[in-house]
Structure 1
């Protein structure tokens, strides 16, 4: 770690020295440039008058001027870098702007001097403001050809919740009972601020999120392991001058308690930020299982299981850091994130065993008490350099994360005959596990515009992940702890090195982007107790070099100013993760066991999309036709325990008729889909966004003695509706309502189907104190219907089950925004210096 930091700092100072050296003998020329934007919308103002007056003792004299371009840009050169100027900006319908400006460094023969004045916001004249009766706001979902951007501020149902609550409300995104996210029925890569994270979604407070970006078919710029797309969570950042903050507090049921405080201090060349959050929730989860077992095609017995689990989860997080603006083109950011999590679960299971004639054979009762905790840290160092050439930029960053966790479970199984007598001896097992790991990511990106339309982008990335864990399963049936074969001690090291290049340009009316990414990946797993090793390496030899190359092609045709077409293609990879490959057996549910398959190989996907995007007054429409073809598809496979497997798990409190689920490589899978998203605004107060995704899936999975092939159609729909009251009454004015409903139809899997599910969320928010404060009341899963279920239909068993971890919840959250622009932590320097860092 020290060597890497030393190398980066050396490169930085070498770059600065080199930059100064190559310009040492050039004659200095001064250039001031910037952009004039609307103070409310942020859009550039066309034809604004720019005048630059030289400040001198003899009075002001005109040094240069121009009208802004269509996007609001202006640039005035051939200026004396040693002088100071008065900038005057006038535009029809806006207040006049007058301010003193100067170059960030004076010309002393060092070469060209250029200062970016940033985005200068123009405020509308009062007489024009008085004529406005309808105030528009940007939609919650902004649709683009290559991505969708979801504004979390507009999503009031997730206020006071976590990132999981945010994801539930985003079109095209589904969240299962365990908090796993799917994008078009595939697991996407989750990024935070464009980088991998060790945090799970329930560890990120919703109130810390500014927006979420959905990229369904990522280009070569993104990690090739994004077969299911990319979901990028952008955290809130505040760089306003002075001291600004956001405070939240919430309470609800079951057992919900939340609180958070974010502070930001911007002064001179520093921007300090810190935020702390606490999130606690509880609830009782339930599950039911109904199974019929077969032997040689005939029913052998029946089994039912009913579970109830009381859960409590709490997270404490702290994030702090500083931005240091060396000058208006160089910025260094250093930040750290700390998260502490604690969970307790008390589960009770009732098990019913029946003969083939449906007569009671015996009953089982299982109690499982679990306590777990973890501590996770993440440090990030970023450096960004903006060149004098507009749009040219170099960025580099280092992310280092480390974590520790502890997990203890006490399991007791008892068995009784129908008459109440003992069927078998009690079975008591203690599971004790510890783990620790660290991740290092180093990335450098360079953007170089080539004229009006062309752009070259390149980058390199290295990712190293180390993980070690020890799991001890102890049988206490005899009073003396006996270590079971289930115990394990393992570690792994994962490494991915990548480089990419993309080029963007236009040929006539058709825009294009072509890219290529190359990745070398290696996974080394080691079962220390058994000295067994597993993993993969790609490419391992020249013959499979193609498996490390991932091209992307995007073609765009603008039909009119409001209509656009795009056709794109990408090739991606899905590498089996540690839990897919680790042969460790999870026995938390004695009838439904899980384990990994160390023989898994990566899955490769070719993905095609055809997009049509149309915007119109009051709304927009996005239609997508997509097709995915995957080879060596990583999929789940379930079967009953063999006699040999049960013997290996003896005394581990498992049932001899348990189902063991693992993973296999299917031959191939094809997905055909149509996704339609509409955004419609009706009047000034109501808008709704329906999304429908239709998909046909065909799985080709033929094992040595079993054909798991399956195919079928599924669809899902989601609608979000918002209504905001505008009234003279202080009670009703600025009262917002939101309703979100979703439905997922049954979906085929290799051995059966997932069951349909649906849910509804409702919320209302009242803004007051000039929009600086608000109170939100939200009810998630109003119908208490959101649960995960599946049907497995095989030669050996038929199983129908459902389970749920989260239940209907209600919470009330108070939010307060505050700030003081003239707050000063340090004594102000003469001349200010903040002018060149305007937002």
Structure 2
């Protein structure tokens, strides 16, 4: 007793810590049991597991598989979360054994697990697994998220698993996404259609994708047949960019610096630099994060355009060759706060500010000949300079309330963003033929101010036997104001403002939307979801210089349907349907003629109507631990299809605008195959094959019948190699066949854009290397994009009627072959340490 008293006096603090830890551990297990009890049904129970490694650290993505003790058949399974925990529900009464597996570790088996009505929950805590003896000598295999994950209504591409995206922009990331194509002008298409909606964190954005660095992107979601919860805009679907946001306990972060160079033919360009810092701090009920990114880049290219035309029996040949260089600099700051008021209520605030500046210079040599192609009637040099600067400020407030009834929740959010800025463009035409022709200066100054507001409330509740209802309301408001001034003359000191060319306007759009979704499961194998969304869109377009207002009102209903049948854990089929809409945007409606290049004009069409699409998709998915196969057959029927259209105004001037075609159909098949060939070698191969059929009789007589239908296909492969000493290599390669530009909707870009025509094939190959140091806190990444400098654009645009014809070949090449090196240092962010048993105990909850 005396010895015990002496020990107690000396070690009372240690004993108190042990006692408190024990009490907290018991409390955590009790709370986990409470969560498990909510999943118990009248004929099924729950198995709760927590998995740790040899160092006692939680193992995320460990697989727990349940087998019948009677015949060893697989019953069900689950994957652990970031805290090493999983809850396996819907396990029928009976006796089972478990297999716990984790890449690079020996399997662990747990026997004699019995679930009954009296004992519906079986709890396994801190199941330790050890590195396997079968590990390849010198190779450490890391368990990570798959690069591509397939869900019911979307495919998720995890950007941080793509080494070839290091130091790139979000636009360059999309070049490696299945079913997505990005041309050299930056136009994005999904399944061959440029009518696609781009979202950032499920919201529209004023930022362009080349203003978002890949280091800020967590994942890319492809939603080809969205449910009624999403806005119906975008014929081919939605591309949602999910930005990074950490919620780990304590302080953590990452700092990245990078620099690169590119080349175009024999010329090398330097000065591609970036710097980013991401920090996060979470303590008890508060989580605070901040991101900063700085980029300084340049882009270089050259273009040629060769057009032969006949107008009223007169022939003309126009040839243009230009080189251009763009210099970019951007700052982006993003911060936010999550406040967990209690177990039922969460409040989030986000704030983002960005500044983007660009200086673009180009030099074009142009030559025009009339009737006699050997003699030039015009020859001039066009030097242009454009300075551009914009600012973007956005904020968001989000609230979530969980009701006492499991699965019932209410969310509300308000989002506001403003983008403002201006640009100045000056072009100087210097003529050598005819020699007596005066120089021509065209200078434009544009100031714009854009506001975008959304307010949304959503409610979700379980109903009946396994049913679920989702409903909500959303208000969307857009306002744009532009002031435009154009000055023309032969010298800088005698420029005169051209009032007739003023492009001043106000644009307002309001959309009120309601949606309803009901989903349920029949006999645990057949899942269905039906939805309906109603929208009333109202926009007003006011041209100030001619005091003209046009208004459009678009009421419509958009039904959706999703069906899934799971044969077993490995095989499932799904069918989905949605109706989509593509409403004309400001630039497509604006009748102002852009004459920055006086021989290749462009303008909008205020008479455009919305394009409607019926989309159907049938798919099959096969999944095992080492491989997966997903295949989709899709069909789209488009009404009043919006497309660019090029025509001749005279013997030397073309005009590209927008028109509604009668209808178009496209159908095809997609295939995605992922395979773990060896523990150190993963492959992902995907491709699509589709046909486009266009029908139009609405006065567009210059479209050749050969440009109304075509077959296209593409294939892309990604190969990842996990080598010894934390060294990874990733190789990507893609090929796209020739495809129609008829039906395209991208921006006009250089040379007035592409109307009806055909784009030639393109193939690209990238490679990336990654090496980790200092216990995986320091990462060195090297990326080489477009290894063989094969990324070019070759487009043939042509058309003819009884009075005229034209045939245009355009070629464009960027400095797309780039070498980029980056260095990242992680702070307390590689993998969560031990579970932190504090008073809140939230780390132990299953999510």
Corresponding residue number in structure 2 for 1:695: 690
2:790 to 785, 792, 805: 785
Q: CA deviation at 1:68?
A: 8.8
Change (3 A) 1:36 1:829: closer
- What SS does the corresponding residue of 2:232 show, helix, strand or coil? coil
- Going from structure 1 to structure 2, the CA distance change for 1:302 and 1:554 (only over 3 Å counts) comes to same
Contact 1:145-1:613 within 8 A present in 2 as well: no
> Which residue in the other structure is 2:655 paired with?
660
Alignment-derived partner of residue 140 in structure 1: 147
Structure 2 partner of 1:480? 494
2:173 pairs, out of 162, 166, 177, with 166
Match in the other structure for 2:822: 813
Superposed displacement of residue 806, structure 1: 5.2
- What's the counterpart of residue 356 of structure 1? 371
Which of 438, 454, 476 is the matching residue for 2:467? 454
CA distance in 1, matches of 2:436, 2:675: 64
Q: Is the 8 A contact 2:49 2:127 kept in 1?
A: no
Q: Which residue of 2 aligns with 1:264?
A: 280
Q: 1:37 to 1:304 in 2, by over 3 A?
A: farther
The answer to whether structure 1 residue 404 and structure 2 residue 412 are counterparts is no
**729, 737, 744: which is aligned to 1:737?**
729
Q: What is the distance in 1 between the residues matched to 2:32 and 2:786? A: 61
- SS of the residue 2:164 aligns to: helix
Paired residue for 1:12? none
Instruction: Check 1:637–1:772 CA distance in 2 against 1; reply closer, same or farther (3 A cut).
Output: same
Contact 1:476 1:482 in 2 (8 A): yes
Equivalents in 1 of 2:412, 2:844: separation in Å? 23
Aligned counterparts of 1:574 and 1:172: Cα–Cα separation in 2: 20
Matched residue, 2:59: 40
Match among 652, 665, 668 for residue 673 of structure 1: 668
For residues 228 and 244 of structure 2, what CA distance do their matches in structure 1 show?
27
Distance (whole Å) between structure 1 residues aligned to residue 684 and residue 597 of structure 2: 40
Distance 1:323 1:301 in 2: 65
Among candidates 630, 633, 640, match of residue 638 of structure 2: 630
1:220, distance to aligned residue in structure 2 (A): 1.2
Deviates more, 1:502-511 or 1:695-704: 502-511
Preserved CA contact (<8 Å) 1:167 1:175:
yes
Corresponding residue of 1:712: 709
CA offsets per residue over residues 516-559 of structure 1, 9 Å max, x none? 000000110100111122241113xxxxxxxx100011222222
Aligned to 1:471: 484
The equivalent residue for 2:88 is: 70
Query: What is the 5 A alignment of 1:523-562?
Result: 523-539=539-555, 548-562=556-570
Q: Which residue of 1 aligns with 2:265?
A: none
Between 796-805 and 423-432, report the one with greater CA deviation: 796-805
Do residues 212 (structure 1) and 220 (structure 2) align?
A: yes
1:205-244 superposed matches below 5 A: 205-244=213-252
Q: Which residue of 2 aligns with 1:14?
A: none
**1:754-786: per-residue Cα shift (whole Å, max 9, x none)?**
222222211111122222221111112222222
Instruction: Tell me: CA distance 1:632–1:331, structure 2 relative to 1, closer, same or farther (3 Å).
Output: same
Going from structure 1 to structure 2, the CA distance change for 1:788 and 1:532 (only over 3 Å counts) comes to farther
* In the alignment, structure 1 residue 576 sits paired with structure 2 residue 581: no
Q: Answer whether contact 1:336 1:378 (CA < 8 A) is retained.
A: yes
- Residue 191 of structure 2 is aligned to residue 191 of structure 1: no
- Which of 700, 715, 719 in structure 2 is aligned with 1:722? 719
1:499 matched to which residue of 2? 514
Which residue, 445, 449, 455 being the options, matches 1:432?
445
If the length of structure 1 is used for normalisation, what is the TM-score?
Answer: 0.81
Q: Paired residue for 2:289? A: 273
Q: Structure 1 229/513 Cα, relative in aligned 2: closer, same or farther at 3 Å?
A: same
Alignment of 1:301-320 (within 5 A): 301-320=316-335
Unaligned runs of 5+ in 1: 1-28, 49-66, 74-91, 96-119, 540-547, 643-655, 728-732
Query: What is the CA distance between 1:44 and its match in structure 2?
Result: 8.0
Distance 1:838 1:505, change over 3 A: closer
| Displacement after TM superposition at 1:620 (Å) | 0.9
Tell me the distance in 2 between the aligned counterparts of 1:138 and 1:820: 16
Shift, 1:135, TM fit? 4.7
**2:128 pairs with 1:125:** yes
**What is the CA-CA distance between 1:327 and the residue it aligns to?**
0.5
C-alpha distance 192-699 of structure 1, shift in aligned 2 (>3 A): same
Deviation sequence 1:133-183 (CA, Å, 0-9, x none): 655443211123421111111101111121112111111111122222211
Which residue in the other structure is 2:761 paired with?
756
CA deviation profile, 1:303-359 (whole Å, cap 9, x unmatched): 111010011011110001111110122110111000100000110000012233321
Q: Which of 798, 804, 811 is equivalent to 1:802?
A: 811
Residue 350 of structure 2 is aligned to residue 335 of structure 1: yes
Conserved 8 A contact 2:353-2:391: yes
Backbone CA RMSD of aligned residues: 2.9
Whether the aligned pair in 1 keeps the contact of 2:399 and 2:412 (CA below 8 Å) is yes
Q: 1:337 to 1:802 in 2, by over 3 A?
A: same
**Matched residues in 2 for 1:299 and 1:774: separation?**
64
Match of 2:104 in 1: none
How do residues 363-378 of structure 1 correspond to structure 2 at under 5 angstroms? 363-378=379-394
Counterpart Cα distance in 2 of 1:820 and 1:779: 27
Find the aligned partners of 1:323 and 1:198 in 2 and give their Cα distance: 24
Contact 1:46–1:71 under 8 Å retained in 2: no
**Secondary structure of 2:697 counterpart:** coil
Aligned-partner SS, 1:765: strand
Please say which of residues 358-367 and 319-328 is displaced more in the overlay. Answer: 358-367
The separation in 2 between residues aligned to 1:598 and 1:349, in whole angstroms, is: 32
Report the Cα offset of residue 264 of structure 1.
0.4
Distance in 2 between residues matched to 1:533 and 1:782, nearest whole Å: 51
| CA distance, structure 1, for counterparts of residue 680 and residue 32 of structure 2 | 49
Distance 2:793 2:838 in 1: 63
Where 2:708 maps in the other structure, the secondary structure is: strand
Report Cα offsets for 1:257-280 as digits up to 9, x if no partner: 000001101012111111100112
Which residue of 2 is the match for residue 181 of structure 1?
Answer: 188
How many residues matched? 718
Say if 1:513 and 1:553, in contact at 8 Å, map to a contact too. yes
User: In 2 relative to 1, CA 452–43 (structure 1 residues): closer, same or farther, beyond 3 Å?
Assistant: farther
Cα distance in 1 for residues equivalent to 2:357 and 2:678: 47
CA offset digits 1:222-242 (Å, max 9, x no partner): 101132211111111211111
CA distance in 2, matches of 1:821, 1:786: 36
Match of 2:163 in 1: 156
Look up the SS of the partner of 1:33 in the other structure.
Answer: helix
Equivalent pair of 2:318/2:652 in contact (CA under 8 Å):
no
Whole-angstrom distance in 1 between the partners of 2:49 and 2:787:
47
2:517/2:529 contact within 8 Å kept = yes
Match of 1:98 in 2: none
Instruction: Give the distance between the partners of 2:767 and 2:699, measured in 1 at CA.
Output: 50
Aligned residues of 2:543 and 2:549 also touching (Cα < 8 A): yes
Cα offset for 1:446? Answer: 1.4
